[in-house]
Amino acid sequence: MNSGDLDALLVDARNFNRQNAITGVLLHSGNNFMQCFEGPEDAVQQVYQRILGSRKHTDVLEFMNLPIQKRTFSDWAMGSATTTPSELLALSTAQWSQLTSELTFSPFTPPGLAVLQVFWSMRQSSH
């Protein structure tokens, strides 16, 4: 995927996300992506189906799907950042929960999400 392809993907994704109150971030290193998105449960499911249905990628893995009390990326219809391979590796191998949305809200931030929050806030302060 070249940068034009990525821009087009982000325009499409942000349009849909804005209309459906979805916020989140998309990180990419070469051909690998990692994405986190949040919003009303039915909209989250719709976005996930769109992503699964896209012909632009293969091998989608779900790390975490659970209720949250507060959004992390409330200002971002879909923020985007390039990472190094090792940053993406660290983020994707951090401890993400396998818990599903049947569980009740937990007051604890899963470690993987905590690492992603720190990464994103460091990115914001360096730009």
Ligand X SMILES: Cc1cc2nc3c(=O)[nH]c(=O)nc-3n(C[C@H](O)[C@H](O)[C@H](O)COP(=O)(O)O)c2cc1C
Q: What are 69's two structure tokens?
A: 């009390």
**Which residue in this structure is represented by tokens 């087009």?**
8
Q: How far from 102 is each of 31, 68, 92, 99, 127, CA to CA, in Å?
A: 32, 12, 23, 8, 38
Complex with ligand X: residue 82 or 106, whichever CB lies closer: 82
Complex with ligand X: residue 39 or 112, whichever CB lies closer: 39
CB atoms under 10 Å from CB of 104, counted, come to 7
Binding mask 50-89 for ligand X (x = CB under 6 A): xx--xxxx--------------------x-----------
| Contact residue for ligand X among 5, 7, 12, 62 (CB under 6 A) | 12
Instruction: Give residues 26-45 in contact with ligand X (rule: CB under 6 A).
Output: 26, 33, 35, 37
Alpha-carbon dihedral sign for residues 6, 8, 12, 17: positive
Complex with ligand X: residue 84 or 106, whichever CB lies closer: 84
Q: Report which of 39, 42, 43, 37 is spatially closest to residue 63, judged by C-alpha positions.
A: 37
Residue 123 CB, nearest distance to ligand X (Å)?
A: 18
Instruction: Tell me which residues touch ligand X (CB under 6 A).
Output: 9, 12-13, 16-17, 26, 33, 35, 37, 47, 50-51, 54-57, 78
